Amino acid sequence: MSTRKPPSAPRCAALVGPYLSGKTSLLESVLSLTGAVSRRGSVRESNTVGDGTAEARARQMSTELNVATTDYLGETWTFLDCPGFIELAQDAFNALSVVDLAVVVCEPEPQKVLTLAPLLRFLDERNIPHLVFVNKMDLPGGSIRATLEALQGLSTRPLVLREIPIRDGEKISGFVDLVSERAFRWSEAQRSELIQLPETVADREKEARAEMLEAIADFDDALLESCWKTSSQSRGGSTPASPATCSRI
Ligand X SMILES: Nc1nc2c(ncn2[C@@H]2O[C@H](COP(=O)(O)OP(=O)(O)O)[C@@H](O)[C@H]2O)c(=O)[nH]1
> What Å distances lie between residue 173 and 168, 169, 170, CA to CA?
6, 9, 10
Residue nearer to ligand X on the CB measure, 60 or 232: 60
Residue ranges in the chain assigned as alpha helix (H) = 23-33, 54-59, 89-96, 110-113, 117-125, 144-152, 199-217, 221-235
Residue whose Cβ sits closest to ligand X: 22
Residue nearer to ligand X on the CB measure, 138 or 214: 138
Residue nearer to Mg ion on the CB measure, 29 or 62: 62
Residues 150-169 that bind Mg ion (CB under 5 A): none
- Long-range contact set of residues 227-230: C-beta below 8 Å, sequence gap at least 24: 227/179, 230/179, 230/180
- Give yes or no for a contact between 145 and 248, defined as CB atoms under 8 angstroms apart: no
What residues line the site for ligand X (CB under 6 A)?
A: 19-25, 42-44, 61-62, 84, 135-136, 138-139
Minimum distance of ligand X from residue 31's CB (angstroms): 13
Residue nearer to ligand X on the CB measure, 133 or 230: 133
Minimum distance of Mg ion from residue 10's CB (angstroms): 23
* DSSP category for residue 116: G
Q: Compose the 45-64 pattern: x for residues touching Mg ion by CB under 5 A, - for all others.
A: -----------------x--
Residue nearer to Mg ion on the CB measure, 89 or 160: 89
135 binds, among Mg ion, ligand X, none (CB under 5 to 8 A by kind): ligand X
Residues 9-28 that bind Mg ion (CB under 5 A): 23-24
Minimum distance of Mg ion from residue 76's CB (angstroms): 22
- Give yes or no for a contact between 107 and 94, defined as CB atoms under 8 angstroms apart: no
Rounded Cα–Cα distance for residues 43 and 49 (Å):
9
55: Cβ contacts below 8 Å, ≥ 6 apart: 63
Rounded Cα–Cα distance for residues 89 and 85 (Å):
6
20 binds, among Mg ion, ligand X, none (CB under 5 to 8 A by kind): ligand X
Rounded Cα–Cα distance for residues 222 and 230 (Å):
12
Residue nearer to Mg ion on the CB measure, 91 or 205: 91
Note the residues at the interface with Mg ion (CB under 5 A): 23-24, 62
